[in-house]
Structure 1
Amino acid sequence: MNALNQTELLRALPYARRFARAVTGDRDSGDALVAQVLGKPLPDLPARLALYAAIAQAAPPQAASSGLPQLQRHILLLTALEDLPLSDAGRVLALSDDEAAREAEAARAALRAVAATDILVIEDEPIIALDLKRLVEACGHRVVGLAASEADAVRQAQAKRPGLILADINLGRGGDGSVAVAQIQRAMTVPVIFVTAYPERLLTAEGAEPAFVISKPFEPLALAIATYQAVHGGRAPPV
C-alpha cells in the first residue's frame, strides 16, 4: 500500500471491496482481487478511483454469454452501485465522456433483456416490500414471496426455492434478516442481496460478510445491476 496515500486508501477500502465483490459475483473472490491490487502500484488517480481502476483492470474475463460485455458491466456497477458520476466512471475505465455515455446506454439496454429469476423479498415494512417487488418486476424478475419475519422467510424459501433473495437486516419484531438468510443458506445455495440503511454494519472485515449490499435509499438501476450480478456473477447462466 502506498504510504503517502495510506489514509485515503484505507478510507476507500470498503467501497473497493464492495465493487470487487460485485465484479466477481463472490465475496471471497472479490476480497482476493482487492488484496491482489493492493500489492501492486495503483493508477495515478484519487484513492477511491485508483482502487476501482485497478480492480477493473485485474478482474478475470467474464463469460460473454452471460449477457453484458465486461466493460458495460463495470460501467453500470460504478455508476449505479458505487454512485460515481459518469465522468468519474469514464476516468476509472479510461474512457472519454462520449465513450462512457455510449457504453452506459448500451449496457442499460442490454440489462433489460437478461433472463429473469424468482425472487424472495425479506422485508418487514409493507410499503418498502411492495416497492422492492415493483422494482424487480420492472426488471423482468418474478417475486415469489414477501416475508416479514425470520420464520416466514425460512418457510417460504424452503417451499418456493427462489433463485435470489433480497433481504433487509432489521425486521423489527420479526427478527434479523441476516439470521434468516444464514439458516436458508445452510439448506440451499442461493445468492443474496442485502438492502439496508446501514451497509457499514455488513462490511466490517469481521466474521461472515455478504457479497452484495445495496444502501437505502437506492436507485432502481442499482437494484437492477445488483440482481444481475448476484444471479449471474459474471458467469453464463445454466442451460
Structure 2
Amino acid sequence: MSLSKNVAPYLPFLRRYARALTGSQASGDSYVAAVLEALIADPAAIRDNANPRIALYRSLSKLWGSIGINRHGETAQPGWETTVQGRLSSIPGPARQVFLLQAVEGFNRQETAEILDRSEVDVATLHDEASRQISEMISSDILIIEDEPLIAIDLEDIVSSLGHRPIGVARTHQEAVKMVREHAPQLVLSDIQLADGSSGIEAVNDILKQIDVPVIFITAFPERLLTGERPEPAFLITKPFSPDMVKALIAQALFFDMRSRKAA
C-alpha cells in the first residue's frame, strides 16, 4: 500500500491532536506537515510498523519534543492564542500529551507508552498528574449549542460534574446569539447542525463578533471539518463522545483562553 493511502485515514485525527496540543490551527498543522515531510524522506517508519496510526502519532511526538514551529496562516488568529506560550508552562508537556492521547484520541495505556517511548508506569503517573491539574481549573460559564435533547442533557451533566456552570442550551442560531448577549459565557460547546437548519459554525461566527471566547465544536463527521483547506477549529469533539473526551477538551480550551484565570 502507498504511503498516502496508509496515512490518509488518520490525518484528520492527527491534526485534531496537534491543534489541541499546541492550541493553534496554524502551529498544529505545521507540525503535521513536518511529520509528513519526515515520512516522505523516510517511509520506513510507517511501512515497517504494524500500526500506521501509532507510527504517525509517535513521529509527531518526537518532532514536538525536538523542534519549534511558528508558522502563521494568512487569517488572523483568535485573541486567546496570543498567550499560548505562557500558558504551556502551567501543565507539563508530557502530562498534557498523555491525557490527550488517551482521553481524546482513544489510545490505551500501552499504545500511549509506545507513542511517547515511555513505560506504562510513567504514562499512568503522567495521566494522574494531568487529571489533577485539570480538576483544579477554575469553574467557568459554558454555553451549549445543541439541538438533540438527550445529547444536550449529557453535556450539561458533564459540564456540571466538572464544576463548571452551564448557562443554558441553545437549539438554534438565533437562540445561541441571544444567550451570548445576555450571559457572556467563557466557553462555547457547539454542534455543527442546528434545529432551524442553520449551521453551528455560522452561529459561532456571529458569537465571535460579540465576544472573544474559545469554542469546541461537536460533530459525528470530523473529516468534513478537518480538511486543511480553510480556518478550522483547534478543539473538536467527535460523536459518540465520552465524558473524559469532553473533560479533556474543555480543560484544553480554557487553558489556552486569554482570559482564563490561574488555578487556585
- Where on the TM-score scale, by shorter chain, does this alignment land: which range? 0.7 to 0.9
Pick aligned residue for 1:185 from 170, 195, 208:
208
Residue 97 (structure 1) aligns with: 120
1:47 matched to 2:57: no
CA–CA separation in structure 2 for the residues paired with 1:54 and 1:237: 32
Is this contact kept in 1: 2:144–2:190, CA < 8 A? Answer: yes
In structure 1, the residue matched to 2:167 is 144
Partner deviation per Cα, 1:29-66 (whole Å, 9 max, x = no partner): 21122122322357945432232223233335965776
For normalisation by structure 1, the TM-score amounts to 0.88
Contact 1:66 1:237 (8 Å CA) reproduced = no
Question: Is the Cα–Cα contact under 8 Å of residues 66 and 232 in structure 1 kept in the other structure?
Answer: no
Q: Given that residues 63 and 234 in structure 1 are in contact (C-alpha distance below 8 angstroms), is that contact kept between their aligned partners in structure 2?
A: no
**For the residues of structure 2 that align with 1:107 and 1:57, how far apart are their CA atoms?**
20
Task: Report which stretch shifted further, 209-218 or 46-55.
Answer: 46-55
Q: The residue matched to 2:38 in structure 1 has which SS? A: coil
Identical counterparts, % of pairs: 37
The equivalent residue for 1:155 is 178
Structure 2 contact 138–261 (Cα < 8 Å) conserved? no
More deviation in 148-157 or 227-236? Answer: 227-236
Match of 1:11 in 2: 9
Question: What stretches of structure 1 of length at least 5 have no aligned partner?
Answer: none
Distance 1:186 1:58, change over 3 A: farther
Distance 1:55 1:234 in 2: 24
Deviates more, 1:92-101 or 1:71-80: 92-101
TM-score (norm 2): 0.80
Distance 1:34 1:145 in 2: 36
How many Å apart are 1:90 and its aligned residue? 0.8
* Number of the residue aligned with 2:248: 225
RMSD over equivalenced CA pairs, Å = 2.6
Letter in 2 for 1:183: D
- What is the SS of the residue equivalent to 1:214? strand
Name the counterpart of 1:215: 238
SS of the aligned residue for 1:140 comes to: coil
Give the Cα–Cα distance (whole angstroms) in 1 for the partners of residues 56 and 97 of structure 2.
13
Q: Which moved more, 1:70-79 or 1:140-149?
A: 140-149
